[in-house]
């Protein structure tokens, strides 16, 4: 069969006549068999860079990705355009994994998506040499580097897997990487001598970065979304705030919905679809939202809270203006952000004793014997787990991250696994059963008509559809299925939509759980470095674009001419810190007793007084200070 050229593949499957800048160079490097690293900013079209060359070659392309939601999204998109794709992740049954790998060996799958942990299982390692693997694509490649912001030790095993497919080229991709991370990726993945690195500038001429110092963040958000028309995203720090801010916006006549990983899968898909199709204008979300979503006409991205690293901020802000038209990335910041990040930092690295307590509690929680449970996955509810053992949720989550770094376990994002059903009786025995139980005959016949292969292997079912066809409520149908399951007529497993906790090693006794202290302190030091860089970005008055590009090692970039600093919005202030020093002094005097404007300003040095007037104006606008009819200023706080 004649193989497609890159342009033919692009046209056939995506309908485009030409590639974006650097895409074709990356595709051709992969086709020439060279190990390649591609650094493209968010929205730069990374998936096309490995999907196109794979479609131009014979064999299966293995894609390693840490994000289950993104894997499933890409598999669905490939299947929509007629390309065979599958994903293996925590929560799938052994039979399903076995079937998928068999199809890969026999050429029935073009793209196989895997989490890095799954790449190293015995089941896969035994099949890998039998597969014709044309390309090994590593998405989110920065995860391999301890210098990066999202280090995942499981990525370090990828190089070992290459020994089983030595002639297969590797294509690593990431949206955010500093110079040390770029070098580390190549070293850890053991790139060949003729490897190539392609890096597109992180600069975005159409995206204006703005930092606004505001006490009343909600009022400022409303002002921004009133002024800037069009679609937008608002990032907040936790799930509760997504709902609160969406309610606040809707109450003020701005169409909004909210998104976080805790909402049911069907709801998440629907609200995401509504937002993409402009049925809702603003999406209020945690950082769980945005990966793999290609909505070009986002006009504004607002952060109500500062992330603890510039990689995350840059990636999230970069979801604005992908159509090349003017867009804004606004950070609304105040001193509480600094306090919060500093507190989070202290909680992010719990003691070894606390981490061991969490590990042992997991064994008890799932009733696991020492030496058991390797590669077993379990639904995990952090709230329920912490309540059972009276643990602090933040400390527990960070202990789990340490256990992930040490590769004792893996905790995935929410995984939606559909309901499955398999008939356990052969046709003759099933016929006998139906003669004795005629009330279930209609249900069994509907299952047989709608689910091909139910005698041979588990098949996916949708309870809502079955119930509608049978003219009964879903709850009644589920009861019937559960009864058939108890009678061992069928094997029925209801759908799941929860995080999956996987034990990468068998459960160990307490004394065998060891934490690498050298790595622990290195990661702690790097976390502090990244947090301080994020705070520096928020609090200093330099061109925002220059600061971001400098962080990603693009030195000497020109001023953008469109950020809040370049437009002179802070001319009355030297630094953010100075503003808070003035504010603290104003608070001190007004808490002593209310006074008029002149008396208050005279408490400051004459060189500062113009800045003080500006600060008072700002505090009045934000209703932190109020003025009575007698013109006395009062502190409201």
pLDDT tens by residue, 291-308: 767 788 999 999 999 999
Name which of 515, 551, 537, 540 is nearest 148 in CA terms.
Answer: 551
In this structure, the strands spanning 633-635 and 409-417 are unpaired
How would DSSP label each residue in 27-72? Answer: HHHHHTT--EEEE--TTS-HHHHHHHHHHTSSSEEEEE-S-HHHHH
- Residue 571: pLDDT band (50, 70, 90) is low
Query: Where is average pLDDT lowest: 470-474, 600-604, 605-609?
Result: 605-609
Q: Which residue has tokens 């299947």?
A: 79
Confidence of residue 281 (pLDDT cuts 50, 70, 90): very high
Examine the pLDDT at 1 and tell me if it is beyond 70. Answer: no
Q: Which range (104-118, 246-260, 462-476) has the least confidence?
A: 462-476
CB 304 within 8 A of CB 238: no
**Mean pLDDT along residues 476-491:** 88
Whether the CB-CB separation of 261 and 70 falls below 8 Å is answered with no
With CA atoms as reference, report the closest residue to 175 among 142, 221, 205: 142
Average pLDDT (597-614) is 84
Q: Taking a C-beta distance cutoff of 8 angstroms, is the pair 312, 149 a contact?
A: yes
* DSSP count for the chain of H helices, then E strands: 25, 21
Average pLDDT over residues 222-239: 94
Distance CA 398, CA 348 (A): 5
Q: Which residues pair with 235 in a beta bridge?
A: 285, 303
Locus of tokens 């690195």: 197
Q: Does position 397 have pLDDT exceeding 70, yes or no?
A: yes
Which residue do the tokens 């890998």 mark? Answer: 128
CA distance 134 to 112: 11
User: What is the structure's pLDDT at 414?
Assistant: 61
Give the pLDDT score at 219. Answer: 92
By the 8 A CB rule, do 320 and 300 touch?
yes
* Structure confidence at residue 621 (pLDDT): 76
Task: Of 173, 186, 203, 176, give the one whose Cα is nearest residue 554.
Answer: 203
Angle 544-551/310-317 helices, nearest 10 degrees? 120
d(CA 455, CA 427): 8
What is the pLDDT averaged over residues 19-27? 92
User: What burial letters (b/e) apply to 377-413, b meaning 16+ CB within 10 Å?
Assistant: bbebeeeebbeeeebeeebbbbbbbbbbbbbbbbbbb
**Distance between CA 309 and CA 561 in Å, rounded?**
24
Angle between helices 217-227 and 239-251 (to 10 degrees): 60
Q: Is the pLDDT of residue 553 over 70?
A: yes
Average pLDDT on 28-55 reads 90
**Is residue 39 within 8 Å of 198, Cβ to Cβ?**
yes
Neighbours of 324 (CB within 10 A): 11
pLDDT at 273 over 80: yes
- Over its C-alpha atoms, the chain yields an Rg (Å, rounded) of 28
The two tokens of residue 159 are 């190089």
Determine the Cα–Cα distance for residues 93 and 100; give it in Å rounded to an integer.
11
Name the band, by pLDDT with cuts 50, 70 and 90, for residue 417: low
Q: What percent of the chain has pLDDT over 90?
A: 46
pLDDT of residue 602: 87
Please report the pLDDT score of residue 445 as a whole number: 84
Report the pLDDT value the prediction gives residue 156, as an integer from 0 to 100: 87
pLDDT of 6 reads 93
What pLDDT, in 10s, does the model give residues 140-175? 999 998 887 888 888 888 988 888 998 899 999 998
pTM of the model: 0.76
CA distance 515 to 21: 44
Establish how many alpha carbons lie within 13 A of residue 455's alpha carbon, considering only the half-sphere containing its beta carbon.
Answer: 9
Average pLDDT, the chain: 88
Question: What pLDDT does 532 receive?
Answer: 95
Q: Is 419 helix (H, G, I), strand (E, B) or coil?
A: strand
The string of pLDDT tens digits covering residues 521-538 is 999 999 999 999 999 999
- pLDDT tens per residue, range 436-445: 888 888 888 8
Q: Which of 20-24, 177-181, 254-258, 451-455 holds the top average pLDDT? A: 254-258
pLDDT of residue 576: 65
Structure tokens at 74: 């890409």
Q: Any alpha helices (H) in 135-207, and if so which ranges?
A: 158-161, 179-188
pLDDT category of residue 95 using cuts at 50, 70 and 90: confident
Reduced to 3 states (helix: H, G, I; strand: E, B; else coil), residue 309 is coil
- In sequence order, the 6+-apart residues with CB closer than 8 A to the CB of 353 are none
How does DSSP assign 245-307, residue by residue? Answer: HHHHHHHTT--EEEE-TTS-HHHHHHHHHHHHTTSSSEEEE-TTS-TT---TTEEEEEESS--
pLDDT for res 278 = 93
> Is the per-residue pLDDT at 239 higher than 60?
yes
Residue 248 in this model has a pLDDT that exceeds 80: yes
pLDDT score of 498 more than 90: no
- Give the three-state DSSP class for 210: strand
> For the segment 331-357, what is each residue's pLDDT rounded down to a tens digit?
999 888 999 999 989 889 999 999 999
CB of 13 closer than 8 Å to CB of 77 = no
Residue 326 in contact with residue 208, Cβ under 8 Å?
yes
Q: How far apart are CA 629 and CA 103, in angstroms?
A: 80
Candidate from 142-146, 245-249, 364-368, 435-439 with smallest mean pLDDT: 435-439
Kindly tell me if the per-residue pLDDT of 577 is higher than 80: no
Residue (of 203, 44, 298) closest to 561 by Cα position: 203
Separation between Cα atoms, residue 149 and residue 180, nearest integer Å: 12
Q: Is the pLDDT of residue 411 over 90?
A: no
């Amino acid at each position: 069969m004649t193989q497609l050229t890159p342009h033919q593949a692009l046209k056939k499957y995506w309908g485009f006549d030409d590639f974006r800048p650097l895409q074709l160079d990356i595709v051709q490097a992969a086709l020439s068999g060279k190990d390649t690293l591609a650094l493209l900013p968010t929205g730069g079209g990374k998936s096309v860079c490995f999907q196109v060359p794979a479609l131009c070659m014979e064999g299966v392309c293995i894609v390693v990705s840490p994000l289950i939601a993104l894997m499933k999204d890409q598999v669905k998109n490939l299947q929509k355009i007629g390309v065979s794709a599958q994903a293996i992740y925590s929560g799938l049954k052994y039979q399903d994994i076995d079937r998928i790998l068999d199809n890969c060996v026999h050429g029935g799958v073009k793209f196989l998506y895997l989490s890095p942990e799954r790449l190293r299982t015995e089941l896969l390692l035994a099949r890998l040499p039998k597969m014709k693997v044309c390309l090994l694509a590593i998405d989110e490649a920065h995860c391999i580097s301890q210098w990066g912001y999202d280090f995942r030790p499981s990525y370090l095993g990828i190089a070992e897997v290459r020994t089983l497919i030595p002639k297969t080229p590797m294509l690593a991709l990431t949206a955010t990487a500093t110079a040390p991370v770029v070098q580390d990726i190549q070293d850890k993945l053991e790139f060949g001598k003729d490897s190539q690195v392609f890096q597109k500038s992180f600069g975005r001429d159409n995206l204006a970065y703005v930092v606004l110092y505001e006490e009343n963040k909600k009022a400022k958000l409303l002002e921004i979304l009133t002024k800037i028309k069009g679609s937008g995203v608002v990032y907040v720090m936790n799930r509760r705030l997504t709902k609160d801010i969406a309610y606040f916006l809707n109450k003020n006549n701005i169409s909004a919905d909210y998104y976080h990983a805790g909402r049911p899968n069907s709801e998440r898909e629907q609200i995401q679809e509504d937002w993409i199709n402009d049925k809702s204008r603003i999406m209020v979300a945690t950082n769980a939202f945005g990966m793999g979503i290609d909505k070009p006409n986002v006009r504004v991205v607002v952060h109500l809270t500062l992330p603890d690293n510039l990689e995350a901020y840059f990636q999230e802000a970069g979801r604005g203006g992908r159509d090349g038209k003017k867009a804004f990335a606004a950070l609304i910041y105040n001193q509480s952000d600094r306090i919060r990040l500093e507190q989070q930092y202290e909680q992010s690295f719990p003691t070894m004793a606390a981490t061991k307590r969490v590990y042992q509690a997991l064994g008890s929680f799932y009733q696991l014997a020492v030496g058991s449970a390797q590669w077993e996955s379990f639904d995990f509810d952090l709230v329920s787990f912490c309540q059972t053992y009276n643990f602090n949720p933040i400390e527990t989550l960070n202990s789990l991250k340490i256990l992930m770094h040490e590769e004792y376990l893996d905790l995935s994002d929410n995984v939606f696994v559909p309901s499955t059903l398999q008939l356990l009786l052969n046709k003759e025995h099933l016929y006998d059963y139906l003669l004795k139980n005629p009330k279930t005959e209609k249900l069994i016949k509907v299952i047989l008509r709608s689910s091909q292969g139910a005698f041979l292997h588990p098949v996916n079912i949708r309870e809502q559809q079955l119930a509608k066809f049978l003219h009964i409520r879903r709850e009644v149908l589920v009861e019937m299925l559960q009864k058939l399951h108890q009678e061992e007529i069928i094997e029925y497993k209801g759908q799941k939509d929860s995080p999956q906790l996987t034990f990468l090693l068998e459960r160990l006794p307490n004394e065998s759980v060891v934490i690498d202290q050298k790595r622990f302190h290195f990661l702690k030091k790097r976390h502090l470095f990244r947090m301080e860089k994020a705070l520096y970005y928020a609090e200093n008055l330099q061109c925002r674009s220059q600061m971001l590009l400098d962080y990603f090692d693009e030195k000497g970039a020109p001023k953008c001419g469109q950020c809040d600093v370049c437009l002179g919005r802070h001319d009355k202030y030297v630094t953010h810190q100075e503003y808070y020093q003035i504010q603290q002094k104003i608070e001190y005097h007004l808490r002593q007793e209310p006074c008029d404007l002149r008396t208050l300003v005279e408490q400051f040095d004459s060189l500062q007084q113009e800045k003080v007037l500006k600060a008072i104006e700002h505090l009045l606008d934000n209703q932190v200070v109020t003025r009575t009819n007698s013109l006395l200023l009062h502190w409201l706080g």
